[in-house]
Protein backbone atom coordinates (compact mmCIF):
# COMPACT_ATOMS: atom_id res chain seq x y z
CA UNK A 1 0.00 0.00 0.00
CA UNK A 2 1.36 3.40 -0.99
CA UNK A 3 1.75 6.36 1.32
CA UNK A 4 -1.05 8.11 -0.57
CA UNK A 5 -3.39 5.15 0.01
CA UNK A 6 -2.56 5.09 3.72
CA UNK A 7 -3.18 8.82 4.01
CA UNK A 8 -6.52 8.39 2.23
CA UNK A 9 -7.67 5.81 4.78
CA UNK A 10 -6.69 8.14 7.62
CA UNK A 11 -8.59 10.96 5.89
CA UNK A 12 -11.70 8.78 5.55
CA UNK A 13 -11.56 7.79 9.21
CA UNK A 14 -11.24 11.39 10.38
CA UNK A 15 -14.07 12.44 8.05
CA UNK A 16 -16.33 9.71 9.48
CA UNK A 17 -15.51 10.80 13.04
CA UNK A 18 -16.13 14.44 12.14
CA UNK A 19 -19.60 13.66 10.72
CA UNK A 20 -20.72 11.87 13.88
CA UNK A 21 -22.50 14.41 16.10
CA UNK A 22 -21.68 12.53 19.30
CA UNK A 23 -17.94 12.80 18.66
CA UNK A 24 -16.47 16.25 19.35
CA UNK A 25 -13.06 16.29 17.67
CA UNK A 26 -12.56 19.97 18.45
CA UNK A 27 -12.84 19.47 22.17
CA UNK A 28 -11.48 15.92 22.19
CA UNK A 29 -9.06 15.48 19.25
CA UNK A 30 -8.26 11.92 18.21
CA UNK A 31 -4.96 10.90 16.67
CA UNK A 32 -5.27 8.38 13.83
CA UNK A 33 -2.36 6.23 12.59
CA UNK A 34 -2.50 3.49 9.96
CA UNK A 35 0.15 0.87 9.22
CA UNK A 36 0.00 -2.62 7.70
CA UNK A 37 -3.79 -2.71 7.81
CA UNK A 38 -3.93 -1.81 11.51
CA UNK A 39 -5.56 1.46 12.54
CA UNK A 40 -4.65 3.06 15.86
CA UNK A 41 -7.01 5.53 17.53
CA UNK A 42 -5.48 7.50 20.38
CA UNK A 43 -6.92 10.29 22.49
CA UNK A 44 -9.83 11.10 24.78
CA UNK A 45 -13.58 11.04 24.17
CA UNK A 46 -16.33 12.86 26.00
CA UNK A 47 -18.21 9.72 27.01
CA UNK A 48 -18.46 5.98 26.49
CA UNK A 49 -20.80 6.27 23.49
CA UNK A 50 -18.30 8.47 21.62
CA UNK A 51 -15.54 5.92 22.27
CA UNK A 52 -17.55 2.89 21.12
CA UNK A 53 -19.09 4.65 18.12
CA UNK A 54 -15.70 5.99 17.05
CA UNK A 55 -14.21 2.49 17.09
CA UNK A 56 -17.15 1.15 15.08
CA UNK A 57 -16.90 3.89 12.44
CA UNK A 58 -13.16 3.39 12.06
CA UNK A 59 -13.48 -0.39 11.71
CA UNK A 60 -16.02 0.07 8.89
CA UNK A 61 -13.59 1.93 6.62
CA UNK A 62 -12.45 -0.28 3.68
CA UNK A 63 -8.84 -1.34 4.09
CA UNK A 64 -8.91 -1.37 7.90
CA UNK A 65 -8.16 -4.93 9.03
CA UNK A 66 -7.75 -4.32 12.74
CA UNK A 67 -8.07 -1.65 15.43
CA UNK A 68 -5.74 -0.70 18.26
CA UNK A 69 -7.90 1.01 20.87
CA UNK A 70 -6.05 3.72 22.79
CA UNK A 71 -9.11 5.86 23.42
CA UNK A 72 -9.82 7.02 26.96
CA UNK A 73 -13.09 8.38 28.28
CA UNK A 74 -12.87 11.78 29.96
CA UNK A 75 -13.51 11.16 33.68
CA UNK A 76 -16.53 12.76 35.31
CA UNK A 77 -14.33 13.47 38.34
CA UNK A 78 -10.55 13.57 38.46
CA UNK A 79 -9.30 10.84 40.80
CA UNK A 80 -5.97 9.32 41.73
CA UNK A 81 -5.50 5.65 40.88
CA UNK A 82 -5.69 4.64 44.53
CA UNK A 83 -9.03 6.39 44.91
CA UNK A 84 -10.42 4.69 41.80
CA UNK A 85 -9.17 1.35 43.09
CA UNK A 86 -10.79 1.84 46.49
CA UNK A 87 -14.14 2.90 45.00
CA UNK A 88 -14.11 -0.10 42.65
CA UNK A 89 -13.39 -2.50 45.51
CA UNK A 90 -16.09 -0.94 47.67
CA UNK A 91 -18.63 -1.35 44.87
CA UNK A 92 -17.68 -5.00 44.36
CA UNK A 93 -17.87 -5.79 48.08
CA UNK A 94 -21.23 -4.07 48.50
CA UNK A 95 -22.76 -5.94 45.56
CA UNK A 96 -24.58 -9.07 46.72
CA UNK A 97 -23.69 -10.97 43.55
CA UNK A 98 -20.07 -11.03 44.71
CA UNK A 99 -20.77 -12.13 48.27
CA UNK A 100 -18.10 -14.67 49.18
CA UNK A 101 -15.74 -13.64 46.39
CA UNK A 102 -12.12 -12.94 47.24
CA UNK A 103 -11.20 -9.37 46.29
CA UNK A 104 -7.55 -8.41 45.75
CA UNK A 105 -5.88 -5.16 44.69
CA UNK A 106 -2.48 -4.36 43.24
CA UNK A 107 -0.67 -1.78 45.39
CA UNK A 108 2.90 -0.82 44.54
CA UNK A 109 3.41 -3.99 42.47
CA UNK A 110 2.21 -6.27 45.29
CA UNK A 111 -1.17 -7.98 45.61
CA UNK A 112 -3.14 -7.25 48.77
CA UNK A 113 -6.25 -9.17 49.81
CA UNK A 114 -9.09 -6.79 50.65
CA UNK A 115 -11.56 -9.58 51.41
CA UNK A 116 -10.90 -13.31 51.66
CA UNK A 117 -13.73 -15.54 50.53
CA UNK A 118 -14.50 -18.88 52.22
CA UNK A 119 -12.19 -21.81 51.45
CA UNK A 120 -14.77 -23.52 49.23
CA UNK A 121 -15.43 -20.39 47.15
CA UNK A 122 -13.83 -20.08 43.71
CA UNK A 123 -14.80 -16.48 42.92
CA UNK A 124 -11.85 -14.10 42.69
CA UNK A 125 -11.63 -10.53 41.39
CA UNK A 126 -8.25 -8.84 41.03
CA UNK A 127 -8.35 -5.05 40.61
CA UNK A 128 -5.49 -3.08 39.11
CA UNK A 129 -5.59 0.62 38.18
CA UNK A 130 -3.08 2.39 35.94
CA UNK A 131 -3.58 6.03 34.96
CA UNK A 132 -7.35 5.69 35.26
CA UNK A 133 -7.46 2.34 33.42
CA UNK A 134 -9.16 -0.32 35.54
CA UNK A 135 -8.05 -3.90 34.81
CA UNK A 136 -10.19 -6.73 36.17
CA UNK A 137 -8.86 -10.28 36.25
CA UNK A 138 -9.77 -13.46 38.09
CA UNK A 139 -12.71 -15.91 38.02
CA UNK A 140 -16.45 -15.34 38.26
CA UNK A 141 -19.34 -17.76 38.27
CA UNK A 142 -21.33 -16.41 35.33
CA UNK A 143 -21.32 -14.05 32.37
CA UNK A 144 -23.73 -11.79 34.24
CA UNK A 145 -21.19 -11.47 37.08
CA UNK A 146 -18.43 -10.63 34.59
CA UNK A 147 -20.57 -7.94 33.00
CA UNK A 148 -21.77 -6.53 36.30
CA UNK A 149 -18.21 -6.22 37.62
CA UNK A 150 -17.22 -4.26 34.52
CA UNK A 151 -20.16 -1.88 34.85
CA UNK A 152 -19.45 -1.27 38.54
CA UNK A 153 -15.92 -0.26 37.55
CA UNK A 154 -17.26 2.05 34.84
CA UNK A 155 -19.56 3.69 37.38
CA UNK A 156 -16.59 4.95 39.39
CA UNK A 157 -16.50 8.56 38.15
CA UNK A 158 -12.71 8.66 37.80
CA UNK A 159 -12.47 5.58 35.55
CA UNK A 160 -11.20 6.30 32.04
CA UNK A 161 -11.35 2.80 30.55
CA UNK A 162 -11.99 -0.79 31.62
CA UNK A 163 -10.22 -3.99 30.59
CA UNK A 164 -12.43 -6.88 31.66
CA UNK A 165 -10.30 -10.00 31.71
CA UNK A 166 -12.47 -11.96 34.14
CA UNK A 167 -12.82 -15.64 33.24
CA UNK A 168 -16.19 -17.36 33.59
CA UNK A 169 -15.94 -20.71 35.39
CA UNK A 170 -17.61 -22.91 34.33
CA UNK A 171 -17.60 -21.43 30.80
CA UNK A 172 -20.90 -20.23 29.36
CA UNK A 173 -21.96 -19.65 25.77
CA UNK A 174 -22.67 -15.98 25.16
CA UNK A 175 -25.76 -14.86 23.26
CA UNK A 176 -28.23 -12.02 22.81
CA UNK A 177 -30.41 -13.17 25.72
CA UNK A 178 -27.42 -13.01 28.07
CA UNK A 179 -26.64 -9.46 26.94
CA UNK A 180 -30.28 -8.36 27.20
CA UNK A 181 -30.59 -9.75 30.72
CA UNK A 182 -27.33 -8.08 31.75
CA UNK A 183 -28.48 -4.68 30.46
CA UNK A 184 -31.77 -5.08 32.32
CA UNK A 185 -29.90 -5.96 35.50
CA UNK A 186 -27.61 -2.94 35.18
CA UNK A 187 -30.52 -0.57 34.58
CA UNK A 188 -32.32 -1.98 37.63
CA UNK A 189 -29.23 -1.41 39.78
CA UNK A 190 -28.68 2.16 38.57
CA UNK A 191 -30.30 4.40 41.23
CA UNK A 192 -30.59 7.25 38.71
CA UNK A 193 -32.63 5.27 36.17
CA UNK A 194 -36.24 4.05 36.41
CA UNK A 195 -35.80 0.67 34.77
CA UNK A 196 -39.48 -0.23 35.09
CA UNK A 197 -40.28 2.13 32.22
CA UNK A 198 -37.58 0.81 29.87
CA UNK A 199 -37.85 -2.17 27.51
CA UNK A 200 -34.58 -3.82 26.49
CA UNK A 201 -34.08 -5.97 23.41
CA UNK A 202 -30.93 -7.34 21.80
CA UNK A 203 -30.10 -8.77 18.40
CA UNK A 204 -26.61 -9.66 17.18
CA UNK A 205 -25.23 -7.97 20.34
CA UNK A 206 -26.91 -4.70 19.36
CA UNK A 207 -29.15 -3.32 22.11
CA UNK A 208 -32.36 -1.32 21.65
CA UNK A 209 -33.84 0.73 24.49
CA UNK A 210 -37.52 1.69 24.27
CA UNK A 211 -39.91 3.38 26.67
CA UNK A 212 -40.21 6.70 28.45
CA UNK A 213 -38.02 8.63 30.87
CA UNK A 214 -38.75 11.92 32.67
CA UNK A 215 -35.53 13.77 31.81
CA UNK A 216 -33.00 13.92 28.95
CA UNK A 217 -30.22 13.16 31.46
CA UNK A 218 -31.87 9.87 32.43
CA UNK A 219 -32.16 8.98 28.73
CA UNK A 220 -28.42 9.54 28.32
CA UNK A 221 -27.58 7.62 31.50
CA UNK A 222 -29.62 4.61 30.39
CA UNK A 223 -27.78 4.57 27.07
CA UNK A 224 -24.42 4.84 28.81
CA UNK A 225 -25.35 1.89 31.05
CA UNK A 226 -26.04 -0.23 27.98
CA UNK A 227 -22.72 0.76 26.38
CA UNK A 228 -20.89 -0.17 29.59
CA UNK A 229 -22.04 -3.80 29.32
CA UNK A 230 -19.37 -6.13 27.98
CA UNK A 231 -19.79 -7.16 24.30
CA UNK A 232 -22.53 -4.63 23.47
CA UNK A 233 -21.60 -3.55 19.97
CA UNK A 234 -24.25 -0.90 19.32
CA UNK A 235 -27.02 0.90 21.21
CA UNK A 236 -30.21 2.21 19.62
CA UNK A 237 -31.67 4.70 22.08
CA UNK A 238 -35.39 4.98 21.29
CA UNK A 239 -36.32 6.29 24.73
CA UNK A 240 -38.79 9.20 24.74
CA UNK A 241 -38.54 12.03 27.23
CA UNK A 242 -41.93 12.76 28.79
CA UNK A 243 -41.61 15.39 31.52
Check residue 153 and give its pLDDT. Answer: 98
Cα–Cα dist 162/72, whole Å: 9
Share of the chain above pLDDT 90, in %: 94
Between CA 42 and CA 58 the distance in angstroms is 12
What's the pTM?
0.93
**pLDDT tens, 41-63?**
999 999 999 999 999 999 999 99
Q: What is the pLDDT of residues 175-229, one digit of tens each?
A: 999 999 999 999 999 999 999 999 999 999 999 999 999 999 999 999 999 999 9
Q: How confident is the model at residue 121 (pLDDT cuts 50, 70, 90)?
A: confident
Distance CA 105, CA 147 (A): 19
Residue 176 CA, chain-centre distance (Å), reads 17
- Give the sign of the dihedral formed by CA 52, CA 54, CA 56, CA 59: negative
Amino acid sequence: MTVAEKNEIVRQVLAALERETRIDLRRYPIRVDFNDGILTLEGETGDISAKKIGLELAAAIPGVEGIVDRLWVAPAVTMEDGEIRDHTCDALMQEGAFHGYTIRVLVKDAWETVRQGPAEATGLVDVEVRDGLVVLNGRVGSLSHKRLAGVLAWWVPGSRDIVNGLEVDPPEEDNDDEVRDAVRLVLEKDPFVNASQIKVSCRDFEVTLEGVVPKPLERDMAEADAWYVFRVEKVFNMLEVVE
